[in-house]
Structure 1
């Protein structure tokens, strides 16, 4: 597997056009945000993107290939609680030509570094669709632990499926030594 160098940039206007083909790709959005399921036009995507750019208290990062400056996805932390020092992780690699290359795993580690190392969080959670077995494996490799099952929490292709709730705690992250990940 080729080693990729990626960087995380603050999500901005220069990344908007990347989302247009992604949200129209049924396979790319199958297990992602429910909002993506409703987007049919570029105007729908613009409305969503404008909302994302105006969100406060959310870390939104564009995932950019370092050698080509091509945006291949976005990731970050939302639903942050200062009182509980917690947040929810999200990732979307929309460019399917970059699936299966380890980019998602590297991005996950980089976002965990931001959450635990820079923001001082104690807990980061996520939910993942049960049929998305590659993502479940990647999250486990990144240190996320299974917490529970949300029964029939997602409707895709006319069928309900379960979602898993997973989390990682600061002390688990520290044991894995993720704080040494270099962010370009």
Structure 2
């Protein structure tokens, strides 16, 4: 399945994406706000194994983010912790190419995945967390329609200290289905 989103499209990941993920994983600046498991050095074989199993969990949907113009993989995104009972999921994203940070891609992809969650999967609530000291992420999520619900105190450990995370969410009943460009 391919989802279009402005200057990028979203496609399935596979083991051929190993080199990009390995390169991103070796750069602390890229991974500093990522989930804990991605913060530790991994071998190419570890990354390849992870990619070969990425679609095995029925509670997670993952896509590669690809530039339309060059077909270059620039990151990944998706929905984790999906609950059919609660009709909810948690959004995640990583833009691995630093020269594309601040270009609005994260907001665009966030909107596209959120619309997919509501319109295609039938979820009612999408959540996410962002480190409070990462204002670019909080702004991207706000621009995509997410609202801050609170602060999770000392919820992450980075750079030798505990850091707060901002909890954000959006409901299907407040979502504008014309928001994806």
Q: TM-score, normalised by structure 2?
A: 0.91
Aligned residue for 2:54, secondary structure, equals: helix
Specify the alignment match of 2:155 in structure 1: 153
Aligned residue for 1:73, secondary structure, equals: strand
| Partner residue of 1:36 out of 35, 38, 52 | 38
Gaps of 5+ in 2: 1-5
- What is the alpha-carbon distance in structure 1 between the residues aligned to residue 40 and residue 90 of structure 2? 22
Q: CA deviation at 1:16?
A: 2.4
Aligned residue for 2:137, secondary structure, equals: helix
Stretch deviating more after TM superposition (141-150 or 47-56): 47-56
| Displaced runs of 4 or more, over 3 A | none
Matched, 1:177 2:153: no
Aligned residue for 2:30, secondary structure, equals: helix
Q: CA deviation at 1:48?
A: 3.2
Count of aligned positions: 176
Q: CA deviation at 1:51?
A: 3.8
| Partner residue of 2:78 out of 76, 82, 91 | 76
Indicate if the aligned counterparts of 1:12 and 1:53 stay in contact, CA closer than 8 A.
no
Specify the alignment match of 1:138 in structure 2: 140
- Calculate the aligned-residue CA RMSD, in Å: 1.5
Specify the alignment match of 1:102 in structure 2: 104
